[in-house]
Amino acid sequence: MSPDTLRWAQWTLADEPFRLGELPIAWQVSAREDVTTPLAQWSAYFTPDVPGEVLVDFLLALDARDQPTTGFTRPELVLDAVTAHGWLRDVDQPDAGATDPTFTSHLSLGEVPPLIQDADPHALTVEADEAGPAGWQAWAEPVLGAPCLWAVSFSASVPHDIVAAFAASLSSTAPVLRRVLPESTRDRLLRAPAG
């Protein structure tokens, strides 16, 4: 919980019964507009193997905001963050998705999965034949149809600039230290000795 009590993160692996990309949710990060309401304005969900530095950069961007629920930027900011690092826009949905050059990691703006909590009242009034609220989703799928390595879902009300901070970190080409490399992507990684 932040000192102003407007944002919080909780470890939910043992408690939450739902999954993203067939993986259990490990972290739920939420924010609210003011302290008079106990309900979150928005939430973001992370599975256990989301790269740690990406989660940290997301939390730092959230902490840096005075008002964690107000967004003044457009969704293009998120795609601009990843394309600046060489990601490719989705051919079919260039305004709503991108993938890294190895086609392993993906980012997409679309209907959020069931159970993703958001204070947007539209989420409660969606008919069965209507699309629900759109939020950002990110995942790593080493081969089309293979199990996901990790997944993230941002509810529809998460400000785009906070998602853009996550996206910029995810797509960064800066080296990171790893003791163990994922077996499924080991051959696609650029490796250098630690020094």
Each domain of the chain, given as residue ranges in start order, spans 7-176
- Beta-sheet pairing, 23-24 with 27-31: unpaired
> Which of 141, 133, 85 is CA-nearest to residue 112?
133
Average pLDDT of the chain to the nearest whole number: 87
- Highest averaged pLDDT of the listed ranges 2-6, 66-70, 156-160: 156-160
pLDDT tens figures, 174-187: 888 777 777 766 67
Does residue 78 contact residue 107 with C-beta atoms inside 8 Å? yes
Judged against a pLDDT cut of 60, whether residue 152 lies above it is answered with yes
Q: Sorting pLDDT into bands at 50, 70 and 90, what band is 124?
A: low
Judged against a pLDDT cut of 80, whether residue 20 lies above it is answered with yes
Crossing angle of helices 52-64/160-171, nearest 10°?
150
Out of 2-16, 24-38, 42-56, 114-128, which region has the weakest mean confidence (pLDDT)? 114-128
Supply the DSSP symbol for 185: G
Two structure tokens written together for 116: 């993703």
pLDDT of residue 43: 94
The three-state secondary structure class of 22 is coil
pLDDT of residue 128: 64
Q: What is the mean pLDDT of residues 93-120?
A: 89
Q: What percent of the chain has pLDDT over 90?
A: 57
Alpha-helical segments (H) within the chain: 52-64, 76-83, 160-171
Q: What is the mean pLDDT of residues 76-102?
A: 96
Supply the DSSP symbol for 187: G
